[in-house]
Structure 1
Amino acid sequence: MSIDEIAEVVRCHGTPLLRAADEVDEVVDACATALRPHVLRVRGRGADLSARLDHLPSAVGLCRLRYGADVTISGIAPEQDEFIVALPVAGRARFDYGRATAVLGPGAMSVVSPYRPFTLEIGRDFDQVLMRLDRRRVEIAAAALIGAREATPVHFDLTTAQISPGLVGVIDAAARLAADPYVTQRMRLVIHAETLIVDALLLGYPSNLSRRLEGVAKSPSAERVSRAMEYMLVNLAEPLSLSDVARHCGVTLRSLQLGFRREVGMSPGEWLRNQRLERAHHQLSMADEAETTVTAVSVACGFLHLGDFAARFKQRFGESPSAVLRGARR
């Protein structure tokens, strides 16, 4: 999975809100609706816009955007209601947020937070995947991770060249689920995937909370670890957020991780994945090939990405999910 693959999913399956659009007001209206309100200025005499915007409907508002001209984007108000995650596909751009400045291109990543003025100097060849995250949702998730009682402001670094493969993988899964008409209740699954995106961003991208998230935490009792296991087993088919599990047990995510390391020698995410794999193997080995599919079992066991499921399944059991299904009841 890669940012290019995510971009292609959005382009192929998203709704084209703009195609070769050259009117500034039209472009601003479409981008403000899909992302956040802003001011757009085309740079250069006689320069014309040729904007394309594809939008994949989901709670995080995945978009692919290219202006086709040198433009400057700036905010309307000092504070906004959305975080904007930018994943460059091609070209170059300069992002200014508060006092921070970053030059972006493929292989980098940027998060424009909602608390300070921003200016984006975007080149005509700059092509990007954009993701909108609700400010309140991020702040509540941050509070849950650090054990705070109130929503907590999150000041992400403007850019990082160290992109978390896990974060990219979850974004990829959310995009593919949103685009897949054959997955039942897919928007429910997309919402769960987007919760994972927020957690992955908080845990895998530098911010003012990074040290607190990595800091010393009190290890919970064995009873709370057991409660977490029971909760995950009951909800094994759901694409659970580990921060939700921690909140259910009344501990921080860091504390939960320490408790699992102490009790079972692995992280809660590893333990949950192993339980899902065991259930998937059992279901496949007992299923009728004519009445089920590997994809159906994968989703039923909480795996959002079929390729990742197949690879982990074969690594654990020495054969592919399809091979186990074909050999079921024989």
Structure 2
Amino acid sequence: MVETLSYVSSSEFLGAATTRWASLFRTQVPERAADFVGRLYSPHALRVGRVDGFDMQLGGFEFGHIHVGAISYGSPVIAQLAPQQAHWVFSRLQRGTATRGRHGRTFGAGDASVLAPGETHEVHLSADMQLINLRIAHEDMIRACHALSGVEPGGSLGFDDHLPAGSAASEALHRITLLLANTPQYAHAASVCFERSLQEAVMFELLLAWPSAVSGYLAQPASLPETTRRARDYLHEHCEDLPTVGDLARHCGVSVRALARGFARHLNTSPLQYMINLRLDRVRQQLQAHGREGNVTEVAHRWGFTHAGQFAARYRNRFGELPSETQRKGRG
């Protein structure tokens, strides 16, 4: 088995000829494939179903700080991904299937997923699997969220980890990949500024199209009255301290009743419900990122939910699944 470099056709992955697409790596040696892909995304090991059919190909390009990659293996493989802290990896399956864990959720053609910083996964990939990845630095996503909403988001961004084919998120990811691949490379000093602007627009679209813990936050009015804005920002910055409505009113220098009127008028909810939803979001983020650490009860207690039945009902009502299901997915 000889390692070679070979061109990976952009039409094979994207369905179109592109400007920036290039071959990055090809090998028939599983250990070399694991090493190269591990340095590009996160450390991981590969278990190959049929070594004689293994033919890993990776194409892609850099666009500013964003890396676009397309990968196939030519053989059934199991990829065990170790946690990394620096990047989000948004993925769209072009062909074949991918299953998280031995009995986890199976992704088909057109489905989209995301690997969050700090997550660990075991993924079972079919021999005909072809995958597009968009790697974006976590700090860039945080800055984009801040620019879009006007405040610094607390904790993880909490992107949903499975979006079906045809969903806004899946279509946005496909459209973004084509846009970046077809954007010419200009030989001008100003092209750096141009690419930076387009990179920011890409992150804005992902934040708007991809359901996440900050989706409701981004849907709020761009301009809020001073008191309501201060209260909202305080909750996001101090959610872990579990402030009460009274604490919030004192911080803003208004009565509880005035605070409630502001939230009802401008955010269509109460301060208490806003706090509960925010804490539920943080529970979900922790279960998704650290499914193996602790248990659901411990995580719930950390965020102020001490009544198990009430917590489970609220969680299911907000996310459409039980917290134990979220934790199981987090275990990969």
User: What interval of TM-score do these two structures reach, taking the shorter chain for normalisation?
Assistant: 0.5 to 0.7
Residue from 106, 109, 120 that aligns with 1:106: 109
| Conserved 8 A contact 1:143-1:151 | no
Aligned letter for 1:49? F
Separation in 1 of the partners of 2:186 and 2:143? Answer: 32
Residue from 95, 118, 121 that aligns with 1:118: 121
Determine whether 1:71 maps to 2:74. Answer: no
SS at match of 1:57: strand
| Conserved 8 A contact 2:68-2:177 | no
Separation in 2 of the partners of 1:200 and 1:6? Answer: 21
- CA drift of 1:63 comes to 0.8
Task: Tell me the alpha carbon deviations over residues 61-96 of structure 1, each in whole angstroms, 9 at most, x when there is no partner.
Answer: 11110011111112223x431111111111111135
Look up the match of 2:214.
209
Choose 202-211 or 181-190, whichever is displaced more.
181-190
- CA drift of 1:125 comes to 0.3
| Conserved 8 A contact 1:14-1:57 | no
| Conserved 8 A contact 1:34-1:55 | no
Separation in 2 of the partners of 1:140 and 1:149? Answer: 8
Aligned letter for 1:55? G
Aligned letter for 1:119? E
SS at match of 1:195: helix
Q: 1:181 to 1:116 in 2, by over 3 A?
A: closer
Aligned residues: 213
Aligned letter for 2:30? V
Residue from 159, 163, 166 that aligns with 2:162: 159
Look up the match of 2:295.
none
Separation in 2 of the partners of 1:172 and 1:220? Answer: 40
Residue from 163, 169, 180 that aligns with 2:175: 169
Separation in 2 of the partners of 1:89 and 1:81? Answer: 25
Determine whether 1:18 maps to 2:21. Answer: no
Separation in 1 of the partners of 2:200 and 2:25? Answer: 28
Q: How does 1:300-311 map to 2 (within 5 A)?
A: none
Aligned letter for 2:196? I
| Conserved 8 A contact 2:145-2:153 | no
SS at match of 1:111: strand
Determine whether 1:43 maps to 2:46. Answer: no
Q: 1:170 to 1:211 in 2, by over 3 A?
A: same
Q: What's the % identity of the aligned pairs?
A: 19
Determine whether 1:62 maps to 2:68. Answer: yes
Task: Tell me the alpha carbon deviations over residues 288-320 of structure 1, each in whole angstroms, 9 at most, x when there is no partner.
Answer: xxxxxxxxxxxxxxxxxxxxxxxxxxxxxxxxx
Task: Tell me the alpha carbon deviations over residues 147-181 of structure 1, each in whole angstroms, 9 at most, x when there is no partner.
Answer: 3346642111111121344554333222212xx24
Separation in 2 of the partners of 1:81 and 1:71? Answer: 25
SS at match of 1:119: strand
Residue from 61, 70, 95 that aligns with 2:100: 95
Separation in 1 of the partners of 2:14 and 2:195? Answer: 17
Look up the match of 1:52.
57
Gaps of at least 5 residues in structure 2 are 1-9, 227-265, 267-332
SS at match of 1:203: helix
Separation in 2 of the partners of 1:63 and 1:213? Answer: 29
Look up the match of 2:321.
none
SS at match of 1:61: strand
Aligned letter for 2:177? I
Aligned letter for 1:66? S
TM score, norm. by length of structure 2? 0.55
Q: How does 1:1-330 map to 2 (within 5 A)?
A: 7-8=14-15, 13-19=20-26, 21-43=27-49, 46-58=51-63, 59-77=65-83, 79-95=84-100, 101-149=104-152, 152-161=155-164, 162-164=167-169, 165-177=171-183, 180-181=184-185, 184=188, 185-216=190-221, 218-219=223-224
Separation in 1 of the partners of 2:192 and 2:223? Answer: 36
| Conserved 8 A contact 2:56-2:71 | yes
| Conserved 8 A contact 1:11-1:64 | no
- CA drift of 1:12 comes to 7.3
| Conserved 8 A contact 2:48-2:77 | yes
Separation in 2 of the partners of 1:199 and 1:147? Answer: 13
Separation in 2 of the partners of 1:95 and 1:163? Answer: 22
Q: 1:113 to 1:64 in 2, by over 3 A?
A: same
| Conserved 8 A contact 1:110-1:158 | yes
Separation in 2 of the partners of 1:125 and 1:80? Answer: 30
| Conserved 8 A contact 2:93-2:111 | yes
Note the aligned Cα RMSD (angstroms).
3.2
Aligned letter for 2:119? R
Separation in 1 of the partners of 2:76 and 2:172? Answer: 33
